Amino acid sequence: MQCPSLDDLTPVHLNECERCRKLLALQEGLRAKLRQSEGEVPIPQGFQERLKARLDRVERAPERGRLASSGWIGRAFRSFGLAACLALALLPWLTRNQSSSFRLSEALAEHHSACWALPKNSRCASDWEAWSQAHQNPEVPVPLSASAGLQEQERRICPFGDVGKGPHLLLHDPKGRQASLFVLPLAESQDRLPKRPVAYRIGTDTVALWHGPHWGFALVSPASENETLEWIQPALGSDQPWLYLAAR
Amino acid sequence: MSIDPELRQRFDQEAVVHAEALYRFARRLADSEDQAEDLVQECFEKALRAFHQYKPGTNCKSWLFTILHNCHRMRMRSAQNRREILDPGDDPKFSLLDRLMEHEVSSEQAFFDATPSDEVRQAVGELSEALRSVVLLSDVEGLTYQEIAEVLSVPLGTVRSRLNRARTSLGQKLWKLFRERVPALAR
Ligand SMILES: [Zn+2]
Ligand SMILES: [Zn+2]
């Protein structure tokens, strides 16, 4: 007699087949044993309190990326304890000379990591249509070529912070690593986007900023600054950079 | 814009209640307790910021597991292309049931009763991450195959086949430990 897989067992078969009954009991036994033994993995002391404190900070904190202290710099400082307080006090001075485009890069890198973390079915992914209806002549919805270069995974309206005004394309680079292309309406971000591309190293990512005739762009990539700048060369001067990025 | 206190309250009721389950899963992905806790905190921070987009009525726990797993993947980016290797000692045709019957172990209950929890955890720890994640999400957390497929971004069929391999491999590892411990019972 051919037995179905345990997932597809019918009551009739189960009634007739002793082996399947035993297999099922064994599987249930293993399950119970797993639940029991994993449930014994100890939770560190103070875990709930520390989580609550972190969430309280988030609840009070301003939008992500606006303040350097809520970004990767802040995270790095937080792990140093006392030195962190001192460093945080000095932060305004340390970051005094950073241009607004650097801060935008920081916000975009933060957003890139947060956005990739969200499940695909999160609501922001479906806001694309609403956005294109609200904006006149949105010339953006051109899919990336699937054959080479960066590949589009998903397109969503950015749900976080002050980068939320344009679409965000989630991409895979040719090595399968996560990258993002942000499309920002130029009128809303002109002062922060240079015409000639600049690249900043933010944490483990590179953010390259530039703009075309009507749209501003930011590519967040896991590659080095030089690689990233080289990569966007063919896309410069175009309002549809993904075509060029994808053609490589 | 800070977070609306009402949203935060809902978040505590619907999401934070899963914190310990997420920690236990994170502990199985990360190398240390500190890393696991850091991963959970990062996950909850992102979840809180995105909670206004969470669709009520869907499974909040599996939504959180997806965020946690994605955060983990972001951290492991460099290792992303590492190919999954099958445990060299694995026999895909191994059947725990056959061994138990061959060696006249009276019932599966007797077998599991004689298996201490730390051996089970050791066996789970020896699975490759891909197999371990599936078996923990399914058998410990009770997520459906569809939910697991979304958490791990793999096809449904992959979830099924990984789960089968994980259980077979676990059975084999537990049997090996059992034989070492109770040689008289199982030769
Ligand atoms: Zn059967
Ligand atoms: Zn986004």
Spatial CA neighbour of B28 closest among B171, B129, B172: B129
- Expressed in angstroms and rounded, the spacing between residue A158 Cα and the centre of ligand 2 is 4
For residue B93, pLDDT beyond 80: yes
Q: What is the pLDDT of residues B120-150, one digit of tens each?
A: 999 999 999 999 999 999 999 999 999 999 8
Average of per-residue pLDDT across A82-104: 54
CB A159 within 8 A of CB B50: yes
Domain count, chain A: 2
For residue A209, pLDDT beyond 80: yes
Task: Please report residues of B whose CB lies closer than 8 A to that of A26.
Answer: 96-97, 100, 108, 171
Q: Is residue A200 part of a domain?
A: yes
For residue A81, pLDDT beyond 60: no
Asked if B65 and B124 sit in the same domain, the reply is: no
Task: Specify the CATH number for the domain of residue B137.
Answer: 1.10.10.10
Domain that holds residue B57: 5-79
Domain that holds residue A29: 9-37
- How many Å lie between the alpha carbon of A76 and the closest alpha carbon of chain B? 12
pLDDT above 90 covers a percentage of chain B that reads 53
Q: Is residue A23 part of a domain?
A: yes
Q: What ipTM describes this predicted complex?
A: 0.90
Asked if B75 and B107 sit in the same domain, the reply is: no
The pLDDT-based confidence of A189 (bands split at 50, 70, 90) is low
Sheet holding A215-221, edge to edge: A151-157, A167-172, A178-185, A215-221, A205-211, A198-202
For residue A12, pLDDT beyond 90: yes
Domain count, chain B: 2
Asked if A153 and A241 sit in the same domain, the reply is: yes
Interface test with B, best of A3, A30, A177, A202 (most B CBs within 10 A): A30
Number of H helices, E strands in chain B: 10, 0
A16 phi/psi in degrees, rounded to 5? -90, -25
A–B interface: beta-carbon pairs under 8 A: 151
Mean pLDDT score of chain A: 72
Locate A31 and state its tokens. 């399950």
pLDDT of residue A84: 42
Q: Is residue B55 part of a domain?
A: yes
Average of per-residue pLDDT across A1-30: 90
pLDDT of residue A24: 92
Locate A168 and state its tokens. 């965000």
More confident residue, A169 or B30: B30
Q: Is residue B44 part of a domain?
A: yes
Last residue of a domain, one of B54, B79, B104: B79
Average of per-residue pLDDT across A65-94: 41
Q: What is the pLDDT of residues A47-74, one digit of tens each?
A: 999 999 999 988 887 544 433 333 444 3
pLDDT of residue B77: 61
On whether any CB of chain B is under 8 Å from the CB of A19, the answer is yes
Average of per-residue pLDDT across A77-91: 43
Q: Is residue B90 part of a domain?
A: no
